[in-house]
Amino acid sequence: MNLIINSFGAILQKENNLLLIITEEGRQTFLPEKIKSISLGKSAKVSSDAIFLAIKHEIDILFVNDMGMPEGRVWSIQYGSISSIRRSQLNFIYSKKVIKWVKELITEKINNQIALLLTYQPSKEDIKGHNIFKFAINSLNDYKNKITNAEAEVLSEIAPSLRGWEGQAGKKYFETLVYIMPDEFKYENRSRMPAKDIFNAMLNYAYGMLYGKVEGALIKAGIDPYVGVFHRDEYNRPAMVYDYIEKFRLWMDYVVIQLCITQSIQKDLFSYDDDTGACRLDTLSKRILIQSVNDYLSEIIEYAGNQRSRQTHLDLEAQKLAQFFQKNA
């Protein structure tokens, strides 16, 4: 279970070895053994006793901003970054093997985008829509082939080209998805900081949630989240998180797309800033999105031959990455 505490004035504290949440709506207790993570918004308060209880049970505590992005976290000292893994991580980053790894990472991301486009591709009866998706899928395959065939002695020689092809593939992907969106959820383009429409506002928030879970998975696996490969130039940011998250962005894309095309969330649950035009989620829209993301991550699926929740698969993949660094350093 993942606890999200963002109600104004909410308090998290310890009571009889239980985690107690106090809000205007009442009091609710939780067994710490059942909790995997706790996200605290700006308006929430937490006691030191609750923090110590969470640490004892290896519960990840995240302090998140209005976009759902972690600004800080508290975790058990048992996680730590194992020195041998960190050394292997650094050695791998500066080895020739890193080029193949980065190319495979971007290729997997584009394959995921192609798979989602195929999932939503209109039938042949909708000639226009079917052809729009077909053209986009062909374009993404072209970019994927360019990435696969790129060669260099060091990553820095082809990194700008790889980023360019990745960016163009992403642009085509999001341009194509607009076609299936109901009118109230259509968007002009992918907008990040700030989001200019409902779709991008939800997607940014969902990515923020995923970001926190990815960072936690890397920390638990002993990987340094600040030492990245493809995003190594991100100053003072957890660059490895930006690398690793690419494998799983599709999950958040799917959740948000489903909320839009099934119209499971209403446009009057969002507001716009008069000065910046930024689209913002209100309390209820955040609650709907957070629940949808957590339900999706809790769903049991087959991945790499194993039946696990998506969240567990994410954690296991981080452990595999740590092993990969050690074998390929």
pLDDT tens digits for 277-307? 899 998 899 989 999 999 999 999 887 788 8
Are 162 and 53 within one domain?
Answer: no
261 and 212, same domain (yes or no): yes
Q: What percent of the chain has pLDDT over 70?
A: 95
Q: Looking at residue 162, which CATH number applies to its domain? A: 1.20.120.920
Question: Mean pLDDT across the stretch 21-35?
Answer: 86
The rounded mean pLDDT for the chain is 88
64 and 93 co-located in one domain: no
pTM, full prediction? 0.84
pLDDT band at 317, cuts 50/70/90?
Answer: very high
Q: Which residue has the higher pLDDT, 112 or 225?
A: 112
CB 225 within 8 A of CB 144: no
Per-residue confidence band for 150, with pLDDT thresholds at 50, 70 and 90: very high
- CATH number for the domain spanning 24: value is 3.100.10.20
Which residue, 42, 74, 106, sits at the end of a domain?
74
Residues 308 and 177 in one domain: yes
Is the model's pLDDT at 228 over the cut of 90?
Answer: no
- The stretch 81-87 carries a mean pLDDT of 78
Q: Do 319 and 191 have their domain in common?
A: yes
How many domains does one find in the chain? 2
Q: Are residues 38 and 98 in the same domain?
A: no
Domain ranges, residue 271: 83-328
Q: Which of 48, 74, 100 is the last residue of a domain?
A: 74
pLDDT band at 77 (very low <50, low <70, confident <90, very high): low
**pLDDT > 90? residue 22:** no
Shared domain for 246 and 142, answered yes or no, is: yes
Of 7-11, 100-104, 134-138, 165-169, which range is least confident?
A: 7-11
Confidence of residue 158 (pLDDT cuts 50, 70, 90): very high
Asked whether residue 108 falls in the same domain as residue 249, the answer is yes
Domain boundary among 74, 94, 124: 74
Token pair of 194, please? Answer: 């700030």
Exposure string (b/e) for 51-70, b if CB count within 10 Å is 16 or more? bebbbebebbbbbbeebbeb
Closest CA to 67 of 177, 184, 210: 210
Does residue 111 share a domain with residue 55?
Answer: no
pLDDT digits (tens, 9 = 90+) for 94-104: 888 999 999 99
Q: What is the pLDDT of residues 102-142, one digit of tens each?
A: 999 999 999 999 999 999 999 999 999 999 999 999 999 99
Question: Are 11 and 159 within one domain?
Answer: no
Asked if 70 and 93 sit in the same domain, the reply is no
Kindly report the CA angle at 265 between 261 and 271, in degrees rounded to 5?
120
Answer with the residue of higher pLDDT: 236 or 231: 231
The CA distance from 80 to 82, in Å, is: 6
- What mean pLDDT is predicted for residues 55-63? 82
CA-nearest of 161, 137, 138, 135 to 148 is 161
Q: What is the pLDDT of residue 226?
A: 83
Calculate mean pLDDT across residues 169-177: 96
Q: Is 161 in the same domain as 32?
A: no
- Cβ neighbours of residue 310 closer than 8 Å, sequence gap 6 or more: 251, 296, 297, 298, 299, 301, 303
